Amino acid sequence: MKKISVLLAANIPGPYDYLVSDDLDIKFGFFVRVPFRNKELIGIIWDDSSENIEKSKLKEIIEYYPSFKLSETIIDFIKFFSRYNFTSLGKTLKLFIPQTYLIEDIKTLKKYKIDKKKIGNINITNARQSVLDLFEEPSNLFSSSEIIKTAKVSPSVIKKLIEEEVLISVDLVSQQSFIKVEHKKFNLNTDQSIAAKNIISSMGDKNFKRFLIDGVTGSGKTEVYFEAIEEALKRNKQSLILLPEISLTESLFERIKIRFGFEPSLWHSDLSKTKRRKIWQDVYYNNAKLVIGARSSLFLPFKDLGLIVVDEEHDNSYKQQEGIIYQARDMAISLGSFERVPVVMVSATPSLETVLNIKEGKYKNLSLPERIGKASLPDINFIDMRDEEYIKNQWISEKLKTEIQKTLGRKEQSLIFLNRRGYAPVTLCKSCGYRLECPKCDSYLVEHKYNPKLICHQCGFSIKPIASCSECNSKDSLVACGPGIERITDEILKNFPEARIATLSSDNAKDTNIVLKDMRNGLVDILIGTQIISKGHHFPLLTCVGVIDADLGMANGDLRAAERTYQLLHQVSGRTGREKRPGKAFLQTYFPAHPVIKSLVSSQKENFQEAELKTRKINNLPPYGKLASIILSDTDSLRLIKFCKIMKAAIPFSKEIIVLGPVPAPITKVRGRVRYRFLLKTNKAVNLQKYIEFWINIIKKPSSIRLTVDIDPYYFL
Ligand code: ADP
Ligand code: ZN
Ligand code: ZN
């Protein structure tokens, strides 16, 4: 028996030492299954362990998987990922191998052909002759069960013939090997060709580069990266397209089928076990040439990656908030540099991080300034709500109503946007002033009418609608305050009774595909929705977009509030006028002079970027400075406050790092846990991770307290 060390794919430290038999030639990176406490866990062979245990006390591995290993590149990426995101190596490894069945051999239906040259070497029995008769036509292929049935022989006959190499198994190649590239493509315009050439010329071993395809919606960005993917396919390399949300994959999937003539592999959490394993192994063997998916597709075992595309790179959904906290766009860029392949970011409203990287020459900008064909840019206007007459329980201005009416008259479509689910965000008691709150969170219960409930949007807690106030017991004293999209839908129904209306939010997400299809086919006149309808969709007849509360996201107070609002409103406005008919967008606002509204209305993206970058620079905020949060939570607030004081007293001295806090999080209580946070600020060059590690290691944390480190935080509530 010899000693090997194994990194377990689990949230436990390690690596640990195990034993294998001496004759097993076991190598770094290969998968093994081992006993751990009273469980069995999966892991990979690691280079060293810190353990120093006598051989006699070590356990033996259970299984060695000689077919599957992680490449050294991927292992380097795992080490980096774990260090950067402040998460253990084992937890990071688990991202790559979330289930053991992924590395179980697929029982494929093997087929056999015959090797005529070998027949002379063997004894021909009667049984063997009947097998050979089957293969008279040399191109015939049979599975072993077919041979058994037709030639009426026993399995051992077949086994022997395989051993004698008379029967040879044939690889049934996966679908993507039959690729016909250039299935159907457009002639790229000049800007598109230049952009594509830039990316293609950077492909190759030592030449990787980062790009941004920056162009308004409908400027042909997707076709540009398709061109680069085509080149990767020709070189027999794999491509990965990351999308912020899985709901966006469907239309891309269809476009890829038309463009390339094959179906890409779609990676998401809802796949069946068999499908998941098939895709994982296709990626492993380089049978899957093109993968599309959300964040988790970064952790597939690519055999020969050639290109990474991050579509809608600015989208905040790339920031994973639950469990292991990481920014998938940033991790895609790192993966690209480990793999030495180009990374192509795509956006109409690039993140300020990316804009600064372009200014500093780290990324190359490929700009597509014009929309394809006759489509012109939408005409964006504001509606100054201070000039509108205030009418109780009415949120759609007269101006916007007139525009919707005109659009109906032209038999075109309108889209009304409000980023708030449900009927009303707050329910107030007229008698005592109490607002209905979630018992577990510092958050109001939101009234929903389609599925009658009062729901907490923080934790999902819900109760049936109530008739009397839970504080003072007054009857019929509860009033709904403010609008959600269900209430806006009521207002639309009242004003446009003849129109065909649909509403979409994550509450009826299961209807998304049907509603979007109806919208595309002109079966809906007015679509009302939350941000679920803001992205990616292409509705030929849509010419009027109305935003009910353009100021909504701005009050959020976090550092990216303005940036996010700009991106969202730009995206929503960009849904209109995507074909020959000119489109208009109307933003209802109380602050028409706000830089976000001003640059949207004047279509001057650069003005906004410049102004916002300047503010960030003055305050040394990202993308100039660097931030990290430490979030502490406990069910007992006194115990938590006491621990926060201990942490504060232990803050290590540093000239370069400022530690702010602890302060209660703005939504202090969530799911019954009270949350406090520290914010760390520094210049880009300083290693915050090391500092935090040092700090945390000098204090002893009670087990009731949860401590989370969020590097480059996006969420501050
Ligand atoms: P974006 O990704 O910038 O929103 P798309 O790539 O989706 O833009 O292109 C917008 C529309 O124009 C699509 O319907 C696409 O098929 C079409 N298109 C793109 N490039 C060309 C081209 N060179 N010639 C003709 N049509 C094109
Ligand atoms: Zn009351
Ligand atoms: Zn709650």
Using one digit for the tens of pLDDT, what is the confidence trace for 137-168?
767 788 888 888 888 888 888 888 888 888 88
Closest ligand 1 atom, residue 255 Cα: 16
Closest ligand 1 atom, residue 188 Cα: 23
Q: How many CB atoms lie within 10 A of CB 410?
A: 11
Using 50, 70 and 90 to split pLDDT, how confident is the model at 588?
very high
Using 50, 70 and 90 to split pLDDT, how confident is the model at 50?
low
Is pLDDT above 90 for 655?
yes
Res 173: pLDDT: 45
Q: Which of 63, 77, 65 is nearest to 30 (CA)?
A: 65
Residue 285 tokens read as 């063997």
Burial environment of residue 55 by CB neighbours within 10 A (0 to 12, 13 to 18, 19 or more): exposed
Residue nearest ligand 1's atom 10 by CA: 218
Res 174: pLDDT: 46
Ligand 1 pocket, CB under 6 A? 186-189, 192, 215, 217-223, 372
Q: Which of 256, 309, 266, 265 is nearest to 287 (CA)?
A: 265
Is pLDDT above 80 for 408?
yes
Q: How many residues does the chain have?
A: 717
Closest ligand 1 atom, residue 348 Cα: 3
Within this chain, domains 190-368 and 379-420+483-613 share the same CATH topology: yes
Is pLDDT above 50 for 175?
no
Q: What's the topology of domain 625-711?
A: Alpha-Beta Plaits (3.30.70)
Is pLDDT above 90 for 86?
yes
Q: What are phi and psi of 502, to 5 degrees?
A: -135, 150
- Ranges of each domain in the chain: 2-103, 109-172, 190-368, 379-420+483-613, 625-711
Is pLDDT above 60 for 61?
yes
Quote the ligand 2 centre to 45 CA distance (angstroms).
63
Closest ligand 1 atom, residue 368 Cα: 3
Q: What's the topology of domain 190-368?
A: Rossmann fold (3.40.50)
Contact criterion met (CB below 8 Å) for 440 and 670? yes
Is pLDDT above 50 for 178?
no
Average pLDDT over residues 329-357: 97
For β-strands 210-215 and 142-143, DSSP reports them as unpaired
| Alpha-carbon gap, residue 461 to 453, rounded angstroms | 10
Ligand minimally distant from the alpha carbon of residue 445: 3
Res 371: pLDDT: 83
In Å, how far are 116, 304, 440 from 70, measured between CA atoms? 39, 12, 43
Using 50, 70 and 90 to split pLDDT, how confident is the model at 49?
low
Average pLDDT over residues 411-420: 96
Using 50, 70 and 90 to split pLDDT, how confident is the model at 382?
very high
Quote the ligand 2 centre to 480 CA distance (angstroms).
13
| Alpha-carbon gap, residue 668 to 443, rounded angstroms | 9
Is pLDDT above 60 for 226?
yes
Which residues face 343 on adjacent strands?
Answer: 210, 308
**What is the separation of C-alpha 616 from the centre of its chain, rounded to a whole number of angstroms?**
26
Using 50, 70 and 90 to split pLDDT, how confident is the model at 180?
low
Q: Pick 2-103's CATH classification: 3.30.1330.60, 3.40.1440.60, 3.40.50.970, 3.20.20.70.
A: 3.40.1440.60
Where do the H-state alpha helices sit in 47-154? 72-84, 89-96, 126-134, 144-151
Contact criterion met (CB below 8 Å) for 504 and 532? yes
More confident residue, 579 or 651: 651
Is pLDDT above 90 for 183?
no
CATH class label, 379-420+483-613: alpha beta
| Alpha-carbon gap, residue 195 to 193, rounded angstroms | 5
Is pLDDT above 60 for 597?
yes
Residue nearest ligand 1's atom 17 by CA: 220
